Amino acid sequence: MSAVRRFATIPGPRPLPLLGNSWRFAIGKKPWQTRSLDITLWNLRALAGADGAAKVAKLFGHPDLVFSFCAEETAKVYRREDSMPYRAVAPCLKHYKQELRKDFFGNEPGLIGVHGMPWSKFRSKVSKALVAPEAAKAAIPSLDEVAIDFIDRIEKIIDYNREMPKDFLTELYKWALESVGAWAMGTRLGCLSEKDDEAKEIIKNIHGFFHSVPELELSAPLWRLYSTPAYKTYVDALDSFTKLCLKRLTDKGVCAKIAKISGEKVATILALDLLLVGVDTTAAAAASSMYLLAKNSRAQRKLQDELDKNLPVGRPLTSKDLEQLTYLRACIKEALRIKPVILGNGRCIQSDAIISGYEVPKGSHIVFPHYIMSNEERYFPNPHDYVPERWLREKDNRNVDMSSEFRTNDMQSICEHAKAVLISEKQREIGIHPFASLPFGFGRRMCIGKRFAEAELQLLLAKVFHRYDVSWRYGELTYSVTPTYVPNEPLQFTMKMRRKNK
């Protein structure tokens, strides 16, 4: 205990008198631009050291942020939390739900931006319909229809060079929105049709919501004094979502089941939360998975061999079909390791703690930047190499078809295979720390729609790579935080029909 250091000694940017550290985000110079938070995290990692911590103190309206860059410290905090985990409050969302629109929300706060007993009571009303594996399996037929429609749409929007349009990321947003509508609200929103004006408006509002969050939550809270442009955008988006959910709830889908048990208001608020967190995130995951596979022909060929072997002909995909696609699941895990859609998770600790050797007082917000940990050599050998095999058990690795590796005498392909084998062997030697990559969070506050998001991604990627050879002929994508981690450049994939589909 004598080696424990005081909270005040945790390294971090020095706050100014009165202004604290909020001025850094308000001015927006690198690395403190809210879109460049990945760079900020690497700078804080350098301050913290391998197993240390860094601190960003004195942010207006927020507790001090303590960043722990050690997977074992992450495990300790998660494992000591009680049955009602606390996240830091999102002040603008709390203001919207509990003050601005209190007449609608009342005592039903939803799942986002709340914690403690109100969160626990709401979650108990909705978790059974969302968390059970059977719930996601039951949604697969409707999600499969959405994926089929998206594949058909690809052929309508592709150009004469077999290249995707510059706004292909928006097309992925439409697919994700259509998917959430299908399984959550039991309705097709029409996002993949030619006349999709309502879908475009929804997506516009989703972007407006997400792009305004970093400014509202990290910069000086001027919205408390007057209605700033960002706050107007934020409120308009939330109002629009609420109207959509009230209008589009049906007697089908997960929310319909909840409406029968807990009432339409609970179902509407849940649908609102699912729209807010289930569109940008899943679309970003699909974009990064396609990009990393497009740049890695070795992994793409291996995935296509698995799909050729297991995908049925002449009938829809089922949950049993998806269970056979072990390499596809590994491809998604590897993409979410390298480019997680959310850069970190956090907890607001409810008692004093010792974290990374520092005394941390109750009420501090502990941030677990798994984007950093999942891209570090100590947890993932050759972290910047896309090697899905690192996620496979030795038995599963043996079962994956290896014929694609030696389809030709291409020496480069053989060398890439040898490198992947070496990396996966190194990974097996050190193992995968269960808290080094947490794209869906952990514990009771894990993403409640995790199983649905995984099913959406598996169905989409299975159909895309079964039908197409996907390639990338541009430079490296750069990414920004919006607050999801998304590419900056157009996703102009080249999609050539595979010979077997011609």
Residue 364 DSSP symbol = P
Measuring CA to CA, how many Å separate 417 from each of 231, 336, 405? 51, 22, 6
End-to-end CA distance of the chain: 69
Contact 480/486 with Cβ under 8 angstroms? yes
The 3-state DSSP class for residue 12 equals coil
Distance CA 90, CA 2 (A): 36
Question: In the beta sheet, which residues pair with residue 359?
Answer: 354
Q: Are 69 and 50 in contact (CB under 8 A)?
A: yes
Helix count and strand count (H, E) for the chain = 20, 10
Residue 359, both tokens: 């005394």
447 is an annotated ligand-binding site residue = yes
Nearest to 459 by CA among 62, 126, 144: 144
Burial grade of 173 (CB within 10 A; 0-12, 13-18, 19 or more)? buried
d(CA 349, CA 411): 54
Q: What are phi and psi of 208, to 5 degrees?
A: -60, -40
Look up residue 320 and give its amino acid.
K
What is the Cα 363 distance to its own chain's centre?
A: 26
Instruction: Report the distance separating Cα 131 and Cα 137, nearest Å.
Output: 11
Task: Mark 436-466 as b/e (b = at least 16 C-beta within 10 Å).
Answer: bbbbbbbeebebbbebbbbbbbbbbbbbbbb
- Between CA 373 and CA 39 the distance in angstroms is 14
Of 465, 483, 114, the closest CA to residue 299 belongs to 465
Evaluate whether 146 touches 182 at the Cβ level (below 8 Å): yes
Backbone angles phi, psi at 313, to 5 degrees: -110, 130
Contact 102, 94 (CB under 8 A): no
- Annotation: binding site for heme: 447
- Annotation: binding site: 447
